[in-house]
């Protein structure tokens, strides 16, 4: 049974209990006996005092009879006197035979004083004295004289006996009381000692139980601490004052590859994990300085047993007995993240710079793009038109580059258009591989479903994957681009909703990707390249996700890698990629333009004037709102409004359209911007616009949007 007492303790406790009972019984019996003696002592003493009184009474009768006989010496009186004497003799003889308290009642002295006188009286009354006859008056007088003297002595002795008896009785009672008190005190003392022994015994038992419990608790805590040491992610080591390696947990072995038996002492440790002598000396110097401190934290690079180099944070503290407790934390990833964060900071600054340059360049490109398009439409010479068309297409490529720069700097929602992927995939791949020493093959069926996608953003995805494939084949190779129609049913693909998709597969014959890196390949800032930023695939993944698709990867180390891009097929595949208006689209009326770039105003003015419109230009939103209101007041309203999204130091398109909508809810208002990442470009209706135009845009794109939204 839990916490059961040992048999020896039970026997000891039983012995103590028996001893207590024996002491109690002994004390009770002693008290009873002594109290009985105390009770019987007065009775016995009184009984013998009564015997003395009886003898004294007989003597008194003898004295009385002697007095009567001395006065009247008749035979009758002598007979009575003789009888009284005889009774006294018998009484004295009885007292002599029965007294036990002679020292208390002086019975011997009483007998010595009375017995001779009684004996003389017997002789004198039977034989006479000094010639006088036994019944003479003179004999009676002598008898009276003799007995009176004895009687007086007997009376004195009797009184003294009573007084002595009373004193002795009182003294005996006091002694008896003192003895009983001593016995009772001894009993109480014995009982107290016994109780103290029991208390100490029980206390010892409780302390023993407490000690057992404390040992169990200590063992539990020790087990918990051992479990903690063994399972904590920190490497824990303990070193002796002499530098011997005493203890290491599992995490230490997992981190470094070394076990306790692999390392003899501190010198052996430094030799193994710091193989470079110069670096080792630097570490040793730093550690020697830290021995004068407590709770030291240091960061060093160590070489593990397998040769891998890791960044490790060391925390050391000295225990009271002089041993050193040192913990090791693998901070390799943290250091990498810190470096990547610094790189990201640089990339962010670069992105901000690139965004500003791209925006300005996009405005310049808008003028170039627009005027080339106008010149292409105006020329009548076929060769000049051919050159202008090539320049226009090249400007389109430049437009795509500026959009990639803007996407890199800002990100943003895709501006989707329903179009075919067939020419787009081939053109984008070939453009990304311009000047590369790798070949490229395509398998793009004619019946490929059309998709609703942002060409600029999806082009960035293709560029990133193709460029990575190129880098994976430093000695050359082949990139295969395939596209197929697939239908995902149920949960065939955990990351895709059921439906129709176009699956784009880009394969290379490079070195492949190690399996351990595949789960992290799309993590921001993760890269295995020496000079990579780790943003390309992360950005690509984000773009495809915003399109409602997913990117998968397959790789065999040493064989190559394949990226599968799933893009949702268009639900209503109405082709939007072709120009739906004729070159000679014509309109009429007044158009309000607001743009802070004078060249853009001029370019849009020239485009719209070729279509038959009259233009009113403003540099800032407030002027545009004022012009719009005045035209309303003159009853000469504008047919449409084109607003730049952002204006430096002034009211931009979002604020301007709010003011216009207060006056006119139905007029077509178009937003134009090179910031395709802005939500107003992707969802213009949500901000009060009718539609959006991405800078730079062509005459055909402008004509198409006017034809769609301007009523005749």
| 180-230 pLDDT tens trace | 777 777 777 777 877 787 788 788 878 888 888 888 888 888 778 777 777
CA nearest 689: which of 664, 644, 651, 654?
654
CA nearest 568: which of 480, 504, 522?
504
Measured at the alpha carbon of residue 709, what is the angle toward residues 456 and 667, in degrees to the nearest 5?
A: 115
Residues 34-40, mean pLDDT to the nearest whole number: 55
CA within 13 Å, CB half, 427: 14
The values of phi and psi at residue 21, to 5°, are -60, -45
Instruction: Give all strands of the β-sheet with 560-568 in edge-to-edge order.
Output: 439-443, 478-488, 499-507, 560-568, 550-556
Measured at the alpha carbon of residue 375, what is the angle toward residues 370 and 376, in degrees to the nearest 5?
A: 95
The values of phi and psi at residue 23, to 5°, are -60, -45
- The predicted-structure confidence for 111-165, as pLDDT tens digits, reads as follows 777 788 888 888 888 888 877 888 888 888 888 888 888 888 878 877 777 777 7
First to last CA, the chain: 103
Least confident range of 25-34, 143-152, 549-558 = 25-34
Measured at the alpha carbon of residue 489, what is the angle toward residues 483 and 491, in degrees to the nearest 5?
A: 110
Residues 599-606, mean pLDDT to the nearest whole number: 88
Whole-angstrom distance, CA of residue 442 vs CA of residue 515 = 27
The top-scoring range by mean pLDDT among 76-85, 361-370, 440-449, 530-539 is 440-449
CA nearest 251: which of 263, 259, 243, 261?
259
Whole-angstrom distance, CA of residue 425 vs CA of residue 455 = 10
Local confidence band at 577 (pLDDT 50, 70, 90 cut-offs): very low
For position 177, what pLDDT does the model report?
Answer: 76
Residue 414 and residue 454 in contact, taking contact as beta carbons nearer than 8 Å = yes
Q: How many CB atoms lie within 10 A of CB 570?
A: 21
For position 401, what pLDDT does the model report?
Answer: 61
Encoding tokens for residue 664? Answer: 């006119």
Residue 27 and residue 183 in contact, taking contact as beta carbons nearer than 8 Å = yes
CA nearest 583: which of 367, 387, 376?
376
Return all residues near 79 (Cβ < 8 A) that are at least 6 apart. Answer: none
Q: How far is CA 213 from CA 117, 201, 481, 627, in A?
A: 93, 18, 73, 92
Q: Which residues are 329's β-sheet partners?
A: 313
Cis peptide before 696 (omega within 30 of 0): yes
For the chain, what is the mean pLDDT? 80
Encoding tokens for residue 591? Answer: 């158009």
pLDDT at 530 over 70: no
pLDDT at 99 over 60: no
For position 578, what pLDDT does the model report?
Answer: 45
| 147 burial level (CB within 10 Å; 0-12, 13-18, 19+) | buried
| 441 burial level (CB within 10 Å; 0-12, 13-18, 19+) | exposed
**Dihedral, 646, 650, 655, 659 alpha carbons, nearest 10:** -130
Least confident range of 402-411, 523-532, 614-623 = 402-411
Encoding tokens for residue 154? Answer: 């007997």
Local confidence band at 45 (pLDDT 50, 70, 90 cut-offs): low
Q: How far is CA 564 from CA 252, 360, 520, in A?
A: 40, 36, 16
Residue 384 and residue 439 in contact, taking contact as beta carbons nearer than 8 Å = no
CA nearest 369: which of 7, 675, 709, 674?
674
Instruction: Tell me whether strands 560-568 and 550-556 are parallel, antiparallel or unpaired.
Output: antiparallel
For position 687, what pLDDT does the model report?
Answer: 93
Whole-angstrom distance, CA of residue 373 vs CA of residue 389 = 8
Q: How far is CA 594 from CA 181, 461, 625, in A?
A: 124, 34, 10
For position 502, what pLDDT does the model report?
Answer: 95
Residue 99 and residue 48 in contact, taking contact as beta carbons nearer than 8 Å = yes
Encoding tokens for residue 495? Answer: 């990351």
Instruction: With H, G, I as helix, E, B as strand and everything else as coil, classify residue 193.
Output: helix
pLDDT at 235 over 60: yes
Whole-angstrom distance, CA of residue 8 vs CA of residue 5 = 8
Q: What is the DSSP letter of 617?
A: E
Whole-angstrom distance, CA of residue 618 vs CA of residue 639 = 16
The secondary element (H helix, E strand) that includes residue 186 is helix 137-231
Residue 479 and residue 470 in contact, taking contact as beta carbons nearer than 8 Å = yes
pLDDT at 522 over 80: no
**Helices and strands (DSSP H and E) totals, the chain:** 18, 17
| 373 burial level (CB within 10 Å; 0-12, 13-18, 19+) | buried
The secondary element (H helix, E strand) that includes residue 324 is strand 324-330
**What sign does the dihedral 5-9-15-16 (CA atoms) show?**
negative
CA nearest 696: which of 393, 394, 395?
395
- The predicted-structure confidence for 415-427, as pLDDT tens digits, reads as follows 788 888 988 898 8
pTM for the full predicted model: 0.43
Q: What is the DSSP letter of 238?
A: E
Cis peptide before 166 (omega within 30 of 0): no
Instruction: Please tell me which residue, 604 or 535, carries the higher pLDDT value.
Output: 604
Local confidence band at 579 (pLDDT 50, 70, 90 cut-offs): very low
């Amino acid at each position: 049974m839990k916490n059961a007492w040992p048999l020896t303790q039970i026997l000891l406790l039983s012995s103590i209990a028996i001893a207590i009972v024996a002491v109690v019984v002994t004390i009770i019996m002693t008290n009873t006996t002594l109290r009985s003696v105390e009770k019987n002592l007065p009775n016995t003493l009184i009984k013998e005092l009564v015997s003395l009184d009886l003898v004294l009474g007989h003597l008194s009768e003898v004295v009385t009879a002697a007095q009567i006989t001395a006065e009247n010496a008749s035979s009758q009186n002598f007979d009575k006197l003789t009888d009284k004497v005889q009774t006294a003799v018998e009484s004295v003889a009885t007292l002599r035979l029965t007294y036990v308290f002679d020292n208390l009642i002086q019975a011997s002295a009483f007998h010595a004083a009375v017995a001779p006188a009684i004996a003389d009286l017997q002789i004198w009354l039977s034989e006479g004295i000094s010639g006088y006859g036994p019944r003479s008056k003179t004999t009676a007088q002598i008898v009276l004289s003799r007995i009176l003297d004895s009687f007086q002595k007997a009376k004195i002795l009797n009184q003294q006996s009573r007084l002595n008896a009373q004193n002795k009785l009182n003294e005996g009672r006091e002694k008896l009381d003192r003895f009983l008190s001593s016995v009772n005190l001894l009993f109480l003392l014995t009982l107290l000692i016994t109780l103290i022994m029991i208390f100490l015994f029980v206390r010892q038992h409780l302390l023993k139980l407490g000690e057992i419990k404390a040992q169990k608790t200590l063992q539990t805590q020790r087990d918990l601490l051992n479990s903690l040491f063994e399972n904590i992610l920190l490497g824990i080591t303990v070193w002796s004052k002499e530098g011997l390696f005493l203890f290491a947990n599992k995490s230490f072995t997992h981190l470094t590859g070394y076990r306790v038996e692999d390392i003899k002492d501190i010198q052996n440790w430094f030799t193994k994990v710091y193989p470079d002598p110069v670096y080792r000396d630097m570490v040793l110097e730093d550690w020697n300085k830290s021995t004068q401190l407590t709770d030291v934290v240091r960061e060093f690079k160590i070489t593990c047993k397998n040769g891998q180099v890791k960044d490790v944070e060391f925390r050391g503290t000295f225990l009271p007995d002089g041993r050193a407790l040192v913990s090791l934390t693998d901070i390799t990833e943290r250091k990498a993240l810190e470096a990547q964060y610094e790189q990201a900071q640089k990339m962010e600054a670069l992105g901000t710079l690139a965004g500003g340059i791209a925006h300005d360049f996009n405005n310049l490109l808008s003028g170039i793009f627009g005027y080339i398009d106008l010149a292409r439409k105006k020329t009548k010479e076929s060769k000049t038109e051919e050159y202008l068309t090539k320049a226009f297409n090249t400007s389109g490529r430049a437009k795509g580059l500026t959009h990639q720069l803007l996407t890199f700097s800002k990100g943003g929602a895709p501006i989707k258009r329903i179009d075919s992927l067939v020419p787009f995939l081939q053109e984008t791949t070939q453009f990304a591989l311009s000047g590369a020493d790798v070949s490229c093959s395509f398998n793009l069926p004619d019946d490929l479903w059309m998709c609703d996608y942002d060409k600029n953003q999806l082009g960035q995805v293709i560029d990133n994957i193709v460029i990575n494939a190129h880098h994976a084949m430093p000695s050359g190779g082949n990139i295969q681009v395939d596209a197929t129609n697939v239908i995902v049913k149920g949960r065939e693909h955990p990351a895709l909703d059921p439906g129709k998709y176009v699956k784009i597969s880009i394969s290379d014959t490079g070195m492949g990707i190690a399996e351990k890196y595949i789960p992290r390949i799309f993590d921001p800032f993760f890269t295995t390249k020496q000079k990579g930023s780790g943003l390309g695939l992360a950005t690509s993944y984000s773009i495809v996700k915003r399109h409602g698709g997913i990117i998968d990867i397959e790789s065999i180390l040493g064989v190559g890698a394949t990226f599968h891009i799933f893009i949702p097929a268009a639900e209503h595949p109405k082709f939007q990629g072709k120009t739906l208006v004729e070159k000679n689209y014509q309109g009429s009326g007044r158009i309000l333009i607001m743009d802070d770039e004078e060249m853009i105003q001029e370019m849009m003015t020239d485009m719209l004037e070729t279509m038959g419109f009259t233009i009113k230009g403003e540099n800032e939103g407030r002027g545009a709102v004022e012009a719009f209101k005045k035209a309303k007041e003159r009853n000469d309203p504008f047919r449409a409004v084109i607003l730049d999204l952002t204006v430096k130091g002034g009211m931009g398109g979002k604020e301007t359209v709010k003011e216009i909508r207060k006056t006119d809810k139905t007029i077509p208002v178009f937003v134009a911007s090179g910031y395709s990442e802005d939500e107003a470009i992707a969802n213009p209706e949500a901000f009060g616009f009718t539609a959006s135009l991405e800078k730079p845009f062509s005459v055909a794109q402008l004509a198409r949007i006017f034809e769609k939204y301007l009523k005749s």
